[in-house]
Amino acid sequence: MIPGPTPVPEKVLQALGKHPIGHRSKDFQNLVEITTTNLRWLHQTQNDVLTITGSGTAAMEAGIINTLSKGDKVVCGENGKFGQRWVKVAKEFGLDVINIKSEWGTPLNPDEFKRVLEEDKQKKIKAVILTHSETSTGVINDLKTISTYIREHKVALSIVDCVTSIGACDVPVDEWELDIVASGSQKGYMIPPGLSFISMSKKAWEATEKSNLPKFYLNLKSYKKSLAINSNPYTPAVNLVFALDESLKMMKEEGLENIFKKHEKHKLAVSSAVKVLGLKLFADERFLSPSITAIKTEQFDAEDFRKKIKDKFDILLAGGQDHLKGKIFRVGHLGYVNDRDIISVISAISYTLLDQNIISPQQAGEALNVASKHLNVS
């Protein structure tokens, strides 16, 4: 129950175990054609969605180095570990970063984006870069509202980390006119780590013509050229593409609405149960990520608690990152997770608290009761 790598369905595991095929073969081209069509479906877009062999950060970096130039002014939203990563990447490539920060656990304030973008009369800002679902804190940022301000600016591109939101909640790329959307395979996609995805709008492709940052492996023009013949510029992780094909088919069968509803009910089940257990949510309750719930542990050490749950129940929970280590634990409910997993994790948390006399048996019962009310909603 961590926010990635997430559980992998049996069918997907079997696809991984197939003998690899030539990446220049007709069979593989057919596969690329199908997966690309289905990736567009998942992203709700007509834009190109490129598959890169590399983790989510490869797609994040690709978004920056393909569309921007040294010294470009960019706005970076930062309210957690992954927002911080954007700032690091941007600075590494010599971009001039305007940082919009928010306390870890609270969402980015869309009004600040509005103000900064409106004040930029000379249209110096070339991109607004942010994380949709901030995995380190369990906060979902209001990308929908922020994207409207980016559009009104007209010049700035939106570059968004949707690593733990694609495949978990609604990210209508075309409707919100998102230019660059990065994600990774070991999350909502239900396949092992190793692939990342990047969707590129027409405006994003136009920006690639002016970009002067160094790039070779992650030069997206090569990927676009190859995609025209359903191919890849370099040897892709063929078996992960087999897995992707299978997982996207499973997702299509389930349907986007059902996928989003499932994540929503799991989020509500976990968050309502932990409150009954007397624990506090780390994130602002109005902005809970559908993929992960971060829980404060004021009365005990979170690392010790995680270890107890791993040893006793073989359930792995995520810890806090950086200054939050020992202070929070995080329950991932992203991807191939079902109601039984949710009931198990709530029971494991309850048992461990009960065992330490932190809660009463009544609270343990009530936690399952409130969770089930959400789980019963199909």
Ligand X SMILES: Cc1ncc(COP(=O)(O)O)c(C=O)c1O
- Tokens for 100? 């919009």
Q: What's the min distance (Å) between Cβ of 163 and ligand X? A: 4
Which region among 17-25, 55-63, 206-214, 216-224 touches ligand X (by CB under 6 A)?
Answer: 55-63
Position 287 contacts ligand X (CB under 6 A): no
Member of 56, 110, 319, 335 binding ligand X (CB under 6 A): 56
Residue with tokens 């792995």: 316
The reply to whether 57 sits near ligand X by the rule CB under 6 A is: yes
Cβ pair 274, 293 in contact under 8 A: yes
Query: Which segment (90-98, 161-169, 204-212, 363-371) binds ligand X by CB under 6 A?
Result: 161-169
**Contact residues for 190 (Cβ-Cβ < 8 A; gap 6+):** 6, 7, 8, 9, 12, 167, 247, 250, 251, 335, 336
Site string for ligand X, 121-160 (x = CB under 6 A): ----------x-x-x-------------------------
Q: Where are the alpha helices (DSSP H) in the chain?
A: 10-16, 26-43, 56-67, 81-92, 110-119, 143-153, 202-208, 220-227, 238-254, 256-276, 302-313, 339-355, 361-375
Q: Considering only 29-37, 52-60, 93-101, 114-122, which stretch makes contact with ligand X by CB under 6 A? A: 52-60
Decide: is 163 part of the binding site for ligand X (CB under 6 A): yes
105 interacts with ligand X by CB under 6 A = no
Is 197 a binding residue for ligand X by CB under 6 A? The answer is: no
User: Residue 53 interacts with ligand X (CB under 6 A)?
Assistant: no
Minimal distance, residue 316 CB to ligand X, in Å: 14
Q: Is 243 exposed, middle or buried (0-12, 13-18, 19+ CB in 10 A)?
A: buried
The residues facing 280 across adjacent strands are 296
User: Nearest to residue 138, comparing CAs of 76, 79, 52?
Assistant: 79
Interacting residue with ligand X among 1, 4, 180, 201 (CB under 6 A) = 4
Q: Count the neighbouring beta carbons within 10 Å of the beta carbon of residue 107.
A: 20
- Applying CB under 6 A, among 48, 72, 161, 179 the residue interacting with ligand X is 161
Contact 185, 237 (CB under 8 A): no
Which residues contact ligand X (rule: CB under 6 A)? 3-4, 55-57, 82, 131, 133, 135, 161, 163-164, 184
